[in-house]
Structure 1
Amino acid sequence: MHKLMIILAFVCSAIQLQAQNGYKITVQMKQYKGGIMYLAQYMGKKTYMADSAMLNEQGVAVLQGKEALPGGIYLVVFPGKTRYFEMLLDSKQENFSVSADTSDLINKLVYKNSPENELFVEYNKFLSKDVGTLNKEVQALMAKHTTADTASARKVQAELGKKLQAYRNDVISKNPQSLLSSIFKMMKDPEVPPRPADADSTFEYRYFRNHYWDNTNLSDGRLARTPVLEDKLSRFFTQLVPLDPDSINVAADELIEKTRKDKENFKFVVWWLTSTYETSPYMGMDAVFVHLVEKYYVAGDAYWLNDEQLNKVISRAYSIAPNLIGQQAPPLEVKDSAMKPVSLYTTKGKFTVLVFWDPTCGHCKIEVPKLDSAYNASWKNKGVTMIGFKTEGTKEQWAQFIHDNHLNGWIHAWDPDAQSNYRRLYDVYSTPIVYLLDEKKKIVAKRLGVEQLNEIIERFDNKGKTAKQ
C-alpha cells in the first residue's frame, strides 16, 4: 500500500470522529467583501479541510455544525488560500467570534467568548514583541563573528529560553486544563539533575530519554491535532533512539502502550510510526514497518481502516518480510540465458550481488554498467559473484545489452516459466533493485547504489582479513 493511501485512510477516519456538541464560529475578515474562507485542521504537521463558508459583503462568514469539531489547532484560511491564522478549538465552540485584520494578524486579531483563543493571542503577541526583540539581538551579535559577541549571544539566548519558559509556566499554572497548557507541557524538556558520583558519562542522555515523555499527556487526544506532537515524535526517534530496527521496535512498543488510554493518540502514533518507517531513507528500517504491521494491524488494532485498506497494508508488509536485512535470501530456481538451470543456493561466492534489472529501463542502463565496472575493478578479487536477473524486456534486448556492455563474468538469469515468484519474494516492483548476500546467502544490504555497496563490501572484506590475522 502506498504511503499516500495510508495517509488518506487515516485522515478520513480522523475527520469523522467528532464530539457531541455543535459549533458556531463567526469570522470577520475586514479587508474582504466576498469569497470563500476555509477552516482546516492539523493532523500532526499535515492539514486537512474541516469546513468552509461564504463571506458576505461585510466580510463576515459563519461556520456552523451540529456536532463539535475535535479539539486541536485549526487554521482559518483567507479567500485565495494565500494567508491564514491559527486558532484553538476545544470544548467551548457553541458561539464565539473572531475579527481579523490582514494588516496585522497578531496584534489586531480579536476574539469574543473564547478564553482559550484569548490566551493564544496574548502568547503570540508575546512571541512577536518580547521574544522577537531578543531574537533580533541574538542575530545581530552572531553576525559580528567575534568570540565575545558569540558569548554574549549565548547569554541572550539563555535569557530568552528562561523568559519563554516562565511565560508558559504561568499559563499552565493559571489554566491547567486548557489546550494551550497541554501543548506547553508537551513542549517542555525534562530537567536533567547533576550527575551522581557513581554514574557514567551516559547519565544525562539516559535521564533525558527516560523522562522525555513525562510532561506529555498521552491521554489527551487533542494533541494529535497539533504539529507539536509530530515534532516531538520525530525528535525522539531521530535523536534519542539508536538507528537500528530492534531498538526502534522496543521504543515504539513502549510509547504506543502509553497511548492506549486515548484512541486518537494511539491511532496517530501508530499511523505516524507506520508511515515513517514504511518509506525511511535508511536501509533496514523496513523491518520496523513489518513489526508494526504484524503487531498492531494484523492483531486488529487499526480500527480506523476498513477491510480493504487493512488488507493492503498487511499485504505490503508481507511482501517486504521475506527480504529483510539479516534474513536468508529466498531461494531462486530459474534459468540462465542458455536455458540451463540456475540455483541461487548452489552458486558459490564470498559475496553475491543480486541485481534485478530491465534492459529497457533508463536507470538500469546507467547503473548496471557502473556495477560491472566496480566488479571488474575490485569486487571480483574479493570473491564477489554477480547475478543479473532480467525482469522485463525481450530476450533479444537482454542479450544485446549484455553484449554491448561486456557484462562478462556475470551469471545472467531469468524466469521464462514464471515459477519463481521473485517479485513478491524480493519486492521487485521497480528496477534496478540490488541485494548484497553473504557467503551463506544471508541478506547483508539492499537497495543501494554502487558507492554505498562498495563501502559495505570493503568493510566486510577488511573484517574478514582482520579475523584471519
Structure 2
Amino acid sequence: MRYVFSLILLTFFSYTLSAQSGYKITAHIKGLQDSTCYLAYYTGLGNGQFFVQDTAKADAEGTITFTGTKKLPEGLYVISISQWRLFDVIVDADQQFELFTDKESVAEGNPPKNMKVTGSMENTLFYEMNNQMKARMAALQQLRPQAQTDPKAAEQVKAIQKELLDYRKKFIREHAGSFTAQLFKAAGEPEVPTAPKLPNGKTDSTFAYRYYKKHYFDGVDLTDERLLRTPFLQQKLDYYFDNLVHQLPDSLIKEADFLMSRAKGNEMRRYVAYRITSKYEQSRVLGTEALFVHMGEKYYVGEPVLWDSSTVSNFKNRIKILKPLLTGNKIPNMYQTDTLGKPLNLYDVKANYTVLVIYADDCSHCRESTPNLKKFYEKYKSKGVKIYATDLRRDVNEWKKFIHEFKTQDFINVIDVHKDAQGKTVHYTDYLNTFDAQATPTIYVLDKDKKILARRFPVDELDKYFEFLLSQPGKK
C-alpha cells in the first residue's frame, strides 16, 4: 500500500507536579544484586506502557534507592528489577517510605506475596488489600473447573464471590479517602440487580445492559488526576466505547460529551479527550469519523488551553479535510478527463451507486486488489453500480498500461490531466486535501445524488457491504 500522507500524531502531554520536599523510595529485595532498576508509572496509553521517572542500581545487599528533589506525580507506579519482573507501588503525598521483599516473590507475580512496608500507610493498605484478594481468587480459580459438574463446588464458588464482593465494599467503606480505595472502586464493576417485570409479565431482557452501562463509571472519579497514572481509566474508557456504546455517530457523540462533562482539571480533560478521539480518526466502523470531527471542534479547537498551538493547528487542518467528507454529505466534484482526453467529471456519472476509486498504478496493494474490484463490478453492475477510477499519479502512459494490463475498460477510467488555453498541462484535483487520499486505494461509495454512504472502504469488503445495502427496504 502506498502512503501519501502520514496520520495526525495525537500527542498527550503530561505535566509534573510542583516541587515540595522531594521523594525517597527505598526497596530492599533480598537476593537481588547489581541490577539496574526502574521506577515508572502507568501511562494510560496502552497495556504495558510506562513512563520511567527514575533509575537506580541495586547494591550487593539488594537495596535500591530512588531519590529526587521534586515530588513525583501521584499515581500507581511499578518498580522493575528486570524485563517483565516488576511490582506495583503507590506514590501518594507521602513519598518517603521503604519496601521489603525478595527476588523470588517478585518473580512469582505481581503483587509479591512477601512484602513489608514502612513509612507508607497507603502502600500498607494496598498490599493488605491485594493479599486478601489474591488468597480468595486462588481458592476461586481452584474450584471453577469442579463447579461445572459439582453442585457443592458451584455453591462454594458463589460463596467466595460474595465474600470478595463483601470484602471490597467493606474495604472501600472503612478506608474511604485513601487512594487504594479509589483504585478498588475504579477497577470494580456495577452490581446489576434482578431485572424487573414488564407490564406484560415478561422479564425486561435489556435491563441488565442498560443498568450496567448507566452505572459503569460510578466508581471512577474523573476529577482525581492520580487515576491517569493507573491502567484502570484507559481500560474503562476502551471497554465502554468498544462494548457498551452503539457505534453510531449520535450515540458516540452523546457518550463522549457525557464523559467530558464529568472530567475536571486540565490534565484529566486532556487525557479523556485524547483517549476517545484517537480511537475514531481512522476507525473501521462506518461513519464514526463524525465523532473525531466533533471532538476536534469542541475539545481541541474549542479548548486550546488544553493543548499546544501545533496540536490545535493540526486539528483545524484535519477537520477542514474530514468534515465535508463525513457520511451523508455530498462529495465534492472531481474534475477529470477520460481516455480520449475529454472532460468526464464525477458529477457527470449517472448511476444508482458510484464507487469512487483513487489509486496509483504503481501501488502494489492497488494491483493486488484490482482483480477483486473487477469481480465486484461484474456482480453488481446490473444493480446500477458504476466504478469511477482515477489514477493519482497523473502519468497518462502508465495509467493506460494499467487499464490494459488489468482489463478495466468497463470502469469509468479518468485522470486529472487537462490542457489550458495555451495547451499547457494543468491539474485540478487535490487528492490529499479534498478527498483525504492518504493511502491508495482510497474508496468512497456514493448514492445516486453523490452523497457519501461509506468511505475508506477495503476492496475485499465491498461485496459484503453491498449485500447488506441492497437488502435494506427500498433498495434495489
Q: Give the TM-score, by structure 1 length.
A: 0.89
Q: Hey, what does 1:145 align to over in structure 2?
A: none
Distance in 1, matches of 2:19 and 2:165, equals 32
Q: Hey, what does 1:110 align to over in structure 2?
A: 116
Distance in 2, matches of 1:52 and 1:182, equals 28
Q: Hey, what does 1:208 align to over in structure 2?
A: 212
Distance in 1, matches of 2:39 and 2:239, equals 29
Of residues 246-255 and 57-66 in structure 1, the stretch that sits farther from structure 2 once superposed is 57-66
Q: Hey, what does 1:65 align to over in structure 2?
A: 68
Q: Hey, what does 1:81 align to over in structure 2?
A: 83
Q: Is 1:119 paired with 2:125?
A: yes
**Could you tell me how far 1:48 is from its partner in structure 2?**
1.4
User: SS in structure 2 opposite 1:177?
Assistant: coil
**Could you tell me how far 1:301 is from its partner in structure 2?**
4.4
Change (3 A) 1:427 1:156: farther
**Could you tell me how far 1:302 is from its partner in structure 2?**
5.5
Q: Hey, what does 1:233 align to over in structure 2?
A: 237
Q: Is 1:323 paired with 2:325?
A: yes
Change (3 A) 1:343 1:42: same
Q: Hey, what does 1:278 align to over in structure 2?
A: 281
Q: Is 1:387 paired with 2:385?
A: no
Q: Hey, what does 2:343 align to over in structure 1?
A: 341
Change (3 A) 1:40 1:18: farther
Q: Hey, what does 1:97 align to over in structure 2?
A: 98
Q: Hey, what does 1:134 align to over in structure 2?
A: 140
Distance in 2, matches of 1:188 and 1:178, equals 16
The CA deviation string for residues 183-228 of structure 1, in whole angstroms up to 9 with x for no partner, is 1122333334444455754333333322222222222111121111
Distance in 2, matches of 1:467 and 1:32, equals 70
Change (3 A) 1:14 1:155: farther
**Could you tell me how far 1:307 is from its partner in structure 2?**
1.2
**Could you tell me how far 1:73 is from its partner in structure 2?**
0.9
1:36-55 alignment, distance < 5 Å? 36-44=36-44, 45=46, 46-55=49-58
User: SS in structure 1 opposite 2:440?
Assistant: coil
Distance in 2, matches of 1:3 and 1:398, equals 27
**Could you tell me how far 1:17 is from its partner in structure 2?**
4.2
**Could you tell me how far 1:237 is from its partner in structure 2?**
1.6
The CA deviation string for residues 294-324 of structure 1, in whole angstroms up to 9 with x for no partner, is 1111112451x32123322332333222212
Distance in 2, matches of 1:174 and 1:279, equals 45
Distance in 2, matches of 1:283 and 1:154, equals 44
Aligned partner letter, 2:436: D
1:397-436 alignment, distance < 5 Å? 397-416=398-417, 417-436=426-445
**Could you tell me how far 1:244 is from its partner in structure 2?**
0.7
Does the aligned pair in 1 maintain the 2:443–2:457 contact within 8 Å? yes
Change (3 A) 1:153 1:321: farther
Aligned partner letter, 1:406: K
**Could you tell me how far 1:427 is from its partner in structure 2?**
0.8
**Could you tell me how far 1:265 is from its partner in structure 2?**
2.3
Task: Give the gaps of 5 or more residues in structure 1.
Answer: 143-147
Distance in 2, matches of 1:152 and 1:385, equals 65
Does the aligned pair in 2 maintain the 1:39–1:51 contact within 8 Å? yes
Distance in 2, matches of 1:314 and 1:17, equals 30
Task: Give the gaps of 5 or more residues in structure 2.
Answer: 107-111, 418-425
Does the aligned pair in 2 maintain the 1:51–1:63 contact within 8 Å? yes
Q: Hey, what does 1:166 align to over in structure 2?
A: 166
The CA deviation string for residues 331-375 of structure 1, in whole angstroms up to 9 with x for no partner, is 111222322112111211000011111111111111112101221
Distance in 1, matches of 2:468 and 2:293, equals 28
Change (3 A) 1:155 1:446: farther
1:264 to 253, 259, 267: 267
Greater RCO (CA < 8 Å, at least 6 residues apart): 2
Aligned partner letter, 1:120: F
Distance in 2, matches of 1:19 and 1:174, equals 31
Greater share of helix residues, 1 or 2?
1
User: SS in structure 1 opposite 2:291?
Assistant: helix
User: SS in structure 2 opposite 1:100?
Assistant: strand
**Could you tell me how far 1:284 is from its partner in structure 2?**
2.1
Structure 1: 4+ residue segments shifted above 6 A: 1-4
**Could you tell me how far 1:282 is from its partner in structure 2?**
2.0
Change (3 A) 1:134 1:2: farther
Distance in 2, matches of 1:271 and 1:165, equals 33
Distance in 2, matches of 1:312 and 1:154, equals 56
The CA deviation string for residues 81-101 of structure 1, in whole angstroms up to 9 with x for no partner, is 3311111111111x2111231
Distance in 2, matches of 1:289 and 1:322, equals 13
1:350-365 alignment, distance < 5 Å? 350-365=352-367
Distance in 1, matches of 2:153 and 2:450, equals 56
CA-based RMSD of the aligned residues comes to: 2.4
1:160-199 alignment, distance < 5 Å? 160-197=160-197
Distance in 1, matches of 2:333 and 2:64, equals 65
Aligned partner letter, 1:207: Y
Does the aligned pair in 1 maintain the 2:143–2:157 contact within 8 Å? no
Of residues 69-78 and 203-212 in structure 1, the stretch that sits farther from structure 2 once superposed is 203-212
Count of residue pairs brought into register by the alignment: 452
The CA deviation string for residues 89-131 of structure 1, in whole angstroms up to 9 with x for no partner, is 11111x2111231111222222211111112222332333321
> In percent, how many aligned pairs have the same letter?
32
Change (3 A) 1:311 1:245: same
**Could you tell me how far 1:153 is from its partner in structure 2?**
6.3
Does the aligned pair in 2 maintain the 1:97–1:111 contact within 8 Å? yes
Change (3 A) 1:154 1:390: farther
Q: Give the TM-score, by structure 2 length.
A: 0.88
Of residues 205-214 and 179-188 in structure 1, the stretch that sits farther from structure 2 once superposed is 205-214
Q: Is 1:247 paired with 2:256?
A: no
1:453 to 438, 452, 462: 462
2:451 to 442, 447, 450: 442
Aligned partner letter, 1:428: A
Aligned partner letter, 1:69: L
Does the aligned pair in 2 maintain the 1:97–1:113 contact within 8 Å? yes
